[in-house]
Structure 1
Amino acid sequence: MDLTHRPRRLRTDGIRPLVRETSLSPSDLIAPVFVDATTDERVPIGSMPGHPRVPVSGIVERVEEVLATGVQAVMLFGIPEEKDAVGSRAYAEDGVVQRAMRAVSEETDAYVVGDVCLCEYTSHGHCGVLESEAKERWERLRRDDVVEDHAADDPTLTVKNDETLDLLARTAVSQADAGADMVAPSSMTDGMVGAIREALDSAGHTDVPIMSYAAKFESSFYGPFRDAADGAPAFGDRRHYQMDPANAREARREVQLDVEQGADVLMVKPALPYLDVVRDVREASDYPVAAYNVSGEYAMLHAAAEKGWLDLDAAAHESLLSIKRAGADLILTYFAESVASSLSATSQP
């Protein structure tokens, strides 16, 4: 037996940290924060333990809590006071996210990222303007007070791509006007990065970068977020505009299109089921790569921990480390605060 090569020599406590290939720090993480125009107090999100909806009046305090853990960046998601067919509160000057951004930008040192999408603001819950047939169906359902399940075989649902671009551009500009340091379009609308870049530049926001959800898949892992942000589709699903989970080559094509249109950071969503895509994007591009460790990934670890089946802190850290190892430079995660706190504690002398 030839034991010339013994990898275990480098696994003792003294040498192990010195040869570690991948590291994780609080500065790698972005914390999602939910701001709710319909409440005057914090509202716990049942499917996402540790995450509340907070009123605009409490957003600064909530962001300061995030900053205290060492995380430097937050992404704001809004729950508006009212919704309509075109999501007009997404780009209103006095919208919930715009008011929150002004407060956070003025009163904290947080790096503020804005989610640019319409699904939280449309009455039908889809990420854009509906085609007339789908809109008529939705209005009929509302009129008749019919409750449908989210049928996967709905043939009538089509979101109008080009008409949606203008609304996304207006949303991005309104967020930049309100103090957003970065905008992150997430609707998977063809041409969204180019439309937003042109609008930002025309409005004088040439220095505001775009973190595009370049490869966002239709996924079962979004459920808790839709509960948190009240953004579930009222009917149908999003398979006609979000990517098929079976496709990896298409993801590379989507990413390249966003690069050509002026994206500054490229995001893959979800993260853990798509680590191969994260790696593909990393190898194909020298742009910063982000990955979204989504609500379902967060919730399932919490559920297993509540059963006593795994150690939550260890599993969370390992999950984020795997995303970083796959090639992500930035990780948007609901574990940001807890993992950052653990990292800070272990780094203390």
Structure 2
Amino acid sequence: MAINAVIVDSISGISIKSYREIRQAIATSFTEVFGASINLEPSSPDGMFVDLLAYMYTELAQVIQTVGANIDVSTATGTFLDMLASIAGLARNEGETDESLRQRIETATFDGLATPDGMTTYLKENITDGITFKENTKNETVGGIPAHSFVVFVPVTFSTEDIDTSDKDWQAILDDSTRAHTVQNFIAQKIWNCKPAGIQSYGNNSGEARDVSGFLQQVQFSFIQGVSYLVRIDFTVYDEETLPSDYEQVIKNVVCEWAKKEYTSGKDLIPQRISAPIYNDVPGIESITVTVASVDNPRHWTDERIPIDEDKIVSITAENITVTLVS
């Protein structure tokens, strides 16, 4: 029974038939199989069955058309566009629009995974969003990185608890009696998976990765030194919404999860940005005031921007957050 609800053409792309056309094609096939005497009027049992099949084929065709449109850079949006970007070795920048990302994809060289953009995208997806990648292609040391080397900065807070237990590389490490079941070896394996040939890894930490031939390879990287901050959050209630009864813990959780993704090596601390995830995820809040202080200097509270050195990363934990409901 050839319905041809979806037609794929190398020139015009994907096109679909209308519900009426699909029903007619099904009805014709039924007549050919069961004879011209079959009653396919919409009110008959066989007609109702044909209608049901036609609706099913129509919905399926529409889904295929939608997916087809979203694997085309010129029409893809949102998550579909992000997926196409990752193929090009790119990642969406914070706040970047679909149009801007689309232009970058269209001008990308598609050099593969072993490029700075490709490695960054892969490592962010397979380790943590907090990854930072830096490469030195010069013939001399630049910024502390040796010639023809790269360094991957990993937040020091990343641990085995953050690893997806279904990850194949992690499962291989757990089954490997010759490698310690450490986060260092997990990071090393992920770096090795996308590491370009002819350029060395560098850093203050290392782990063992197994290559395609089964040999162990030493891979270096750096844990970013965390700079811990105290966060004081004062807020007032918005009466038209319901504030969670456990608002203190909810706010702490929201801020901690946001901070893990927000801060990368060298990214400055802007206190008022901390209010954004609270407004987005916690109902019943009208106004928020955020001040911060370094754990090393707890008397100096500020709401102003704090510069962060390139080899450091802001660290915010639940125990260092104080939440106060202001009457």
**Do Structure 1 and Structure 2 share a fold, with TM-score over 0.5?**
no
Q: Which has the higher contact order (CA 8 A, sep 6+)?
A: 1
Larger radius of gyration: 2
Q: What TM-score comes out, normalization by structure 1 length?
A: 0.24
Larger helix fraction of residues: 1
